[in-house]
Structure 1
C-alpha cells in the first residue's frame, strides 16, 4: 500500500520505535493517529511532528490506556472519524529476569499490554478496517516469540501468543480486504529494557538495531504487505532451526543461562507502563 493512501493508528507512539515510526509515516505522507499513555511525551511528539507537517490535519494524538475497554472504545471512535485503514499494534511493556523472580503483577502487566490489548483493539477496529478497499494490521512482536531465550520466558510467551494470533487472524480474514502481518525485531537500542537486560544483551553478544532501522522495516511492511518479517539473518536462521530441532538448540544458550545467573539482581526492574 502507498503511504500516502494510509490513515494509521499507531499505539506506543511515544516510545523509541513508535516515535521513529511516526516520523517516517508523516514524512511519507500518511495520516497518523498517535496513541499512548504518557501525556507529556505524546503531546511533545505531536507538537514536533505537527510543526513539520505541511497539512496538520494529517496528525492527531490520543492519550488513552489501551488495556481498558474505555481506552479502546475511544480509539475506535477516532479511527472511524479518520477513516483509518492501518493499525500498528506497537505498544508493549518489557520483562527480563529469572522466572523464579516473576511476580503476578509483572506477569499480568505483560499479558495485558503485549497480548490482550492488541488482540482486543484489533477486534474493536475490525469493522472499520473491513469497510476499507485495502487495510492492514501490523503486530509488532519479537524474535523471542520463536526463540526461547533464558531471562525472557514470560515476555517471549506474550510475543509468541501475539504471533499465533496474527497467523490465525490472517487465515481467518484471507478473503477480506484486511491483511494481517507480524513483525519481529531483535534487540533495539532504546530505553525499553532496563539496565540488567541491556547488560545481559551486551554480555551475550546479542545484536542490537537502531530505532530508525526498525521503523524503516515497519514502513517497508506497509508498502510490501509482506505477511511476516524479522530482522537479522542469524536470528531468522536460528528461529528456523529452533522450529525443526528445539532440543538440539538448547546448548546454544549456555552462555545466556550463565549470564542470567551471574547478573546482579539489584538491577531488576520492570516498567509496567506502555509508551
Structure 2
C-alpha cells in the first residue's frame, strides 16, 4: 500500500521504535492514530510534530491499555471512526534474565501484552478491515521469535507465538483484502531494554540497529507487501538455519549463557 493511502493505527507509539515509525510514516504521507498508555506522552509527541511539521490533519492519538477489554473496544470504535486501513502491532514489554529469576506475574504480563493483546485487538478489528477494498495487519516481532536465545525464554515465547499467529492468519486470510505481515528486528538501541541487556549484547558481540533503521524497514514492508522480513546479518541467516536444523545452533550460545546476570529489575511497557 502506498503511504499516502494508509490510515494507520500504531500501537506502542511512544516507545523508541514507535516514535521513529510514526515519524517515518508521517514523512511518507500516511495518516496516523497513535496508541499508547500515557496520554501525556502521546499529547506531547503529537504537539511537537504539529508545531514542527504542520501535520495536525494527519495525526490523532488514543490512550489505551491493550490488556483492558474496554480499551480494545474503544480502539475498534476509533478505527471505524477514522477509517483505519492499516494496523501496526508494535506495543510490547521486554523480559530478560534467567527463567528462575522472573516473577510469575511478570511472565504473565509479557505473554498477555506481547501475544494475547495483539490477537484480541486483531479479532476486534478484523470484521471491519475485511469489508475494505484493501487493508494490512503488520506485526512487529523479533528475530527472537524465530531463534530461542539464553536469557530470553519468556520474551522469545511471546514472539514465537506472535510469529506463528501472523503466519497462520496470513494463510487463513489469503485471497481476501487483508494482507498480514510480520517483521523481525534484531536488537535495537532504545530504552525498551534494561541496561543489563546492553552489557549482555556487548559481551556476546550482538549488533544493534537504530530505531530509524527499523522504522524505514517497516515503511518499506508496508509499501512492498512482503509476507515477512527479518533484519540484520548474521541474524537473518541464523533464522533460516534455526528453522531447518535448530539443534545445530545449540552449541553456539556458550557466551550468552555465561554472561546471564543473576537477576534483572522488572520491565516497563510502551
Whole-angstrom CA distance in 1 between matches of 2:114 and 2:222 = 21
Whole-angstrom CA distance in 1 between matches of 2:115 and 2:178 = 20
Gaps of 5+ in 2: none
| Structure 1 residue 55, shift from structure 2 partner | 4.6
State the partner residue of 1:255. 255
State the partner residue of 2:116. 116
CA RMSD of aligned residues (A): 1.1
State the partner residue of 2:135. 135
| Structure 1 residue 270, shift from structure 2 partner | 2.6
1:26–1:53 contact (8 Å) kept in structure 2: no
| Structure 1 residue 145, shift from structure 2 partner | 0.9
**Normalising by the residue count of structure 2, what TM-score does the alignment of the two structures yield?**
0.97
State the partner residue of 1:173. 173
1:31 and 2:27 matched: no
**Normalising by the residue count of structure 1, what TM-score does the alignment of the two structures yield?**
0.96
Any residues of structure 2 matched to 1:14-25 within 5 Å, and which? 14-25=14-25
Whole-angstrom CA distance in 2 between matches of 1:128 and 1:59 = 21
* CA 1:100–1:23: 2 relative to 1, 3 Å: same
2:49–2:55 contact (8 Å) kept in structure 1: no
Q: Which runs of 4+ in 1 moved over 6 A?
A: none
| Structure 1 residue 132, shift from structure 2 partner | 1.4
Gaps of 5+ in 1: none
Residues 83-122 of structure 1: per-residue CA shift (max 9 Å, x gap): 1000000000000000111211110110110000100101
SS at match of 1:95: coil
State the partner residue of 2:265. 269
Whole-angstrom CA distance in 1 between matches of 2:41 and 2:262 = 31
1:11–1:91 contact (8 Å) kept in structure 2: yes
Q: How many residues align?
A: 270
| Structure 1 residue 233, shift from structure 2 partner | 2.8
1:22–1:32 contact (8 Å) kept in structure 2: yes
Any residues of structure 2 matched to 1:146-225 within 5 Å, and which? 146-225=146-225
